Amino acid sequence: MTHTLMDSGGQRPLRSAEGHARILFQRVTHSPEETVSFGRELARELQPPCTVLLEGELGSGKTTLVKGIVASLACIPEEEVTSPSFTLVHEYGDQGKVYHVDLYRIEGGRDLSTLGLDDLVGEGATVLIEWGEKFGGDFPEPCVRIRLEYLGSDERRIIVERVEA
Ligand code: ADP
Ligand code: MG
């Protein structure tokens, strides 16, 4: 498998709503397996407490990438990491230190507040959030934002940015 891991630390910092964002990695993957394995690599870069926002249309690969990240962080097989689109939050790890959240079905800010996302981050956890962009800035400050783009049936572009407040 070819890897095009690229640390573009020398790039000009981008401005974003949350402050400065610096691109950490950009990768084009060519299969779900490659995306999972990229997720495992990314897991090594995440120091808790950390909120990770995943943005991208349905089918862009957010859950697939999270499988790799969570499998690595929680030391479990990736098959055990499933989409929380109905349950909203899945908890992993011995002490609940990794949470996978999917806000796709959340209707409004009130529903959002019942999830207690701030508390999870306060516990020193890694919190991975799909569809966070639906709520503007109404949830914990992200430290990493991952954008996924559909390029073709098996191709996805994955851009990982570190957000500095
Ligand atoms: P999302 O959570 O963004 O809705 P999923 O990860 O659930 O997306 O689904 C992505 C779909 O695209 C899966 O069916 C997966 O098998 C397929 N796929 C094809 N190529 C890739 C790739 N390179 N990376 C990730 N998923 C891919
Ligand atoms: Mg998903």
Which H or E run includes 135? none
**pLDDT-derived band at 96, boundaries 50, 70, 90:** low
Q: Assess whether the previous peptide bond of 49 is cis (omega < 30° from 0).
A: yes
Q: Mean pLDDT highest for which of 84-88, 136-140, 147-151?
A: 147-151
The mean pLDDT of 53-77, rounded to a whole number, is 97
Query: 10: CA distance to ligand 2 center in Å?
Result: 32
**pLDDT-derived band at 4, boundaries 50, 70, 90:** very low
Summary mean pLDDT of the chain? 85
Ligand closest in space to the Cα of 150: 1
- State the pLDDT at residue 115: 84
Ligand closest in space to the Cα of 29: 1
Please give the angle made by the CA atoms of 18, 20 and 30, to the nearest 5 degrees: 90
Of the chain, the percentage scoring pLDDT greater than 90 comes to 59
Beta-sheet pairing, 50-55 with 144-152: parallel
For residue 62 and ligand 1, the question of a CB distance below 6 A is answered with: yes
For residue 51 and ligand 1, the question of a CB distance below 6 A is answered with: no
For residue 64 and ligand 1, the question of a CB distance below 6 A is answered with: yes
Whether residue 19 has pLDDT greater than 90: no
Cα–Cα distance, 99 to 52 (Å, whole number): 10
**pLDDT-derived band at 1, boundaries 50, 70, 90:** very low
Whether residue 37 has pLDDT greater than 90: yes
For residue 63 and ligand 1, the question of a CB distance below 6 A is answered with: yes
Q: Which of 64, 102, 105 to mutate to test the pocket of ligand 1 (most atoms within 8 A of CB)?
A: 64
Cα–Cα distance, 122 to 22 (Å, whole number): 24
Cα–Cα distance, 28 to 25 (Å, whole number): 10
> Which of the two residues, 56 and 47, has the higher pLDDT score?
56
pTM: 0.88
Query: 64: CA distance to ligand 1 center in Å?
Result: 6
Q: Specify the 3-state DSSP secondary structure of 159.
A: strand
DSSP 44: T
Residue with CA closest to ligand 1 atom 5: 61
